[in-house]
Chain A
Amino acid sequence: MSEFEPKVVAFFCNWCTYGAADLAGVSRLDYPPNFRVVRLPCTGRLNPKFIMEAFKRGADGVWVSGCHPGDCHYIAGNYYARRKFILLHTLLESIGVDPNRLRFSWISSAEANKFQAMARDVIEHVKACGPNLTFRKAELQLDLPEVA
């Protein structure tokens, strides 16, 4: 049996983590290919419904990453985002979503090495959780008649 390869939806701030991913790429730092990146102008733009939509559609994990506190391109977007994360993180964990499926991090655009390490760590944790079978929308049952 081949090893489980998770799908992780990653929401990266344009001004930092997205750049870190870029820098990691040009620096030839290899990291797992299991995540699909959605670029945000700021983590302040992250609406909790984006995360729910990712899980609903079957993502095995979600990773949100933005600028370090104090570094926001828009002065305070990540400070507001942080409060949202605190609630979202607690809510999802409380209702029984494995906290290893949801990761928040601060990575500046210069931190290619941190990005590489974090990417590996995220995927490793999600792998340990196994496929997301319980916190997603059920597969569509087409129930088409066998003979048409």
Chain B
Amino acid sequence: MPEYLVKENALADFFRELTQDRRLLTPQGQGENCRLEETDPSKVSLEYTNTHKSPKECFFPQTEKLLAFSKEADKPHPNEYRDLGDKAVATVIFGLRPCDARGLCVADKVFQNDRFTDPYWKGKYEKTLKIGLACLNPSPQCFCAAMGGSPFGEAGLDVLAYPRDKGLGLKTLTEAGEALIKTTKAEPGDLKSEIADLEKKAIEAQGPIDHFVAINERKIMELYKAPHWPTTAEPCLGCGVCTFFCPTCHCFDIQDEANERGGIRMRNWDTCMSALFTQHGSGHNPRPSKTERIRQRFMHKLKYIPIKQDGVRGCTGCGRCVVMCPANIDIRSVAALMAQTQAS
């Protein structure tokens, strides 16, 4: 797929052209306030580290209504749960960081695979084109390269952009992405070697990289029975911050709410850090303490997901949980402990 250039003075036009028949979401605000918002094409910013929350909420909101029923007898199908229809709108997201785009890929394989298709995720995912913005200066808490990604990673994106002379360099990655860029006045250009150089520099900026390869070589039960789990879990407060901010965490809980007029069925983000997550109706809990819960989280990210998804890890190195965990349980330290696990 070819590369394109957008000059500084053509940026506003470029974003206007992108949004001819779709809405534009871009990161707006700084730090804690940085979030994906519907953006006027003239107000796109390239100056941000990353969105505070991961972009999964665009496709998998914290609370999502799935079905509803009415008790009113004169309405069609009273007292029957009905689908609410696909309300997804055509969207282009500009400015996804490659780690987050890769996170969406991991979640996508959970919501759409050869066994299941989740219509709620699918509707939004298929109607969204994703333009990434590569990281020229990764943040000190970033470690995408250690997790098999790259500041110029392409997974999950239709187009990869990077800041270039106050304009943009673009590399199209899918046919849809190519078609989208073709609708704009972006000029073709050969940027292959420039991208390779910038990527090398950005990876080097993440310092010496441990890929924790030994985790891949250890067997599940070797890692599972490793002696470090109780001490790793000991500081854990059991809040859900790591899971709520994680770009790949996708667990949810189905809940009904009803009154005398009707009711809805919705799904809400759930968190494996909560004891309630695995509490059985009988009262039995297969993950009774935070040791089991912490082990589940890290085993899932670093072992179970790679097994199911051809080696792709469930952690993309975005660094959100590392920065936000109140007790400083750092997935890099846990990965290092897992990598040191002895073979049995």
Contacts and interface: CB of A to CB of B under 8 A. Distances in A.
Direct interface between A and B, CB < 8 A: yes
With a 10 A CB-CB cut-off, give which of A143, A144, A145, A147 has the most chain B CB atoms: A144
B221 interface: no
Nearest to A143: B84
A144 B75 CA distance: 10
Given A147-B76, A148-B77, A140 B82 contact: no
Contact of B65 (A143, A145, A148): A143
Contacts of B271: none
Nearest to A142: B68
Interface residues of B, number: 17
SS of A interface (majority): loop
Interface in A84-141: 140-141
Nearest to A148: B76
A28 B69 CA distance: 44
Interface bin, chain A: under 10
Nearest to B80: A148
A140 B71 CA distance: 13
Contacts of B70: 142, 144
Contacts of B262: 140, 142, 144
B4 to A, nearest CB: 41
Given A145-B82, A145-B85, A140 B263 contact: yes
B264 interface: yes
Contacts of A143: 65, 68, 84
A147 B84 CA distance: 11
Interface in B56-85: 65, 68-70, 75-77, 82, 84-85
A141 B76 CA distance: 17
Contacts of A145: 82, 84-85
Contacts of B280: none
Contact of A144 (B68, B257, B258): B68
B261 interface: yes
A59 to B, nearest CB: 14
B69 to A, nearest CB: 8
B151 to A, nearest CB: 41
B84 A140 contact: no
A143 B75 CA distance: 13
B264 A140 contact: yes
B259 interface: yes
Interface centre among B70, B77, B258, B264 (most CB of A within 10 A): B264
B84 A144 contact: yes
A98 B199 CA distance: 60
A94 B113 CA distance: 52
A148 B74 CA distance: 13
A131 B261 CA distance: 19
Interface of A: 140-145, 147-148
Given A144-B84, A148-B77, 20 more contacts: A140-B257, A140-B259, A140-B261, A140-B262, A140-B263, A141-B264, A142-B69, A142-B70, A142-B262, A142-B263, A142-B264, A143-B68, A144-B69, A144-B70, A144-B82, A144-B262, A145-B82, A145-B84, A145-B85, A148-B76
Interface of B: 65, 68-70, 75-77, 82, 84-85, 257-259, 261-264
9 contacts: A140-B262, A140-B263, A141-B264, A142-B69, A142-B261, A143-B65, A144-B69, A144-B262, A145-B84
By Cβ-Cβ distance, the 8 closest A-B pairs, closest first, are A148-B76, A142-B68, A142-B262, A145-B85, A148-B77, A144-B68, A143-B84, A142-B70
